[in-house]
Amino acid sequence: MYRMTNQKMFLYKLIKTFSSFFDTYQIYENVTEKKKKIGLATIYRFLNKLEKDGEIHSFVCGNKKVYSSNKTNHVHYKCERCGKVKHITIKNLDFLSESMDDVCHFQIELAGICLECKNIAKANNY
Ligand SMILES: [Zn+2]
Ligand SMILES: [Zn+2]
Ligand SMILES: [Zn+2]
């Protein structure tokens, strides 16, 4: 599919081992552990290219960019009281069939009062 150098082939295979989300630094850590000499800039450029080619999807998680080769959505639930952020997986994607345009990936930010905070509120009230 691609003509790749050994370095890029190594990176490509490494990316496929992540079943969930990863960031540039996690890839870099793996590369370093395996004693490969691939710089952050190379990794960054390679991820950018894969993203442009639609091989991986990117999302904003907190203050960093995360990628995934097999997850097409990234959902945050943020508690407005304690500020905790949870990741939620959406399994039913039926609503996407309503869309006329092709959807590659998407991100949703949900907010509310989490169960823990609700329980604390309950405990204090009764
Ligand atoms: Zn995508
Ligand atoms: Zn996230
Ligand atoms: Zn909370």
Ligand 1 center to 106 CA (angstroms): 8
**pLDDT for the residue numbered 87:** 96
Ligand 1 center to 104 CA (angstroms): 4
pLDDT in tens, 16-25: 999 999 999 9
Record the pTM: 0.84
Residue owning tokens 């604390």: 120
**pLDDT for the residue numbered 108:** 95
Ligand 1 center to 73 CA (angstroms): 9
Residue owning tokens 């945050």: 76
pLDDT in tens, 23-70: 999 999 999 999 999 999 999 999 999 999 999 999 999 999 999 999
Instruction: Please report which ligand is nearest the Cα atom of 108.
Output: 2
Cβ atoms within 10 A of the Cβ of 57, count?
A: 21
Ligand 3 center to 64 CA (angstroms): 22
**pLDDT for the residue numbered 69:** 95
**pLDDT for the residue numbered 117:** 96
**pLDDT for the residue numbered 109:** 96
Instruction: Please report which ligand is nearest the Cα atom of 51.
Output: 1
Structural domains of the chain, ranges and CATH numbers in brackets: 6-68 (1.10.10.10), 73-125 (3.30.1490.190)
Give the pLDDT band of residue 1 (cuts 50, 70, 90). Answer: low
The CA distance from 79 to 114, in Å, is: 5
Instruction: Report the pLDDT averaged over residues 82-104.
Output: 86
**pLDDT for the residue numbered 126:** 60
The CA distance from 54 to 75, in Å, is: 20
Q: Please, are residues 46 and 87 in contact by the beta-carbon 8 Å criterion?
A: no
Ligand 2 center to 81 CA (angstroms): 18
Instruction: Please report which ligand is nearest the Cα atom of 106.
Output: 1
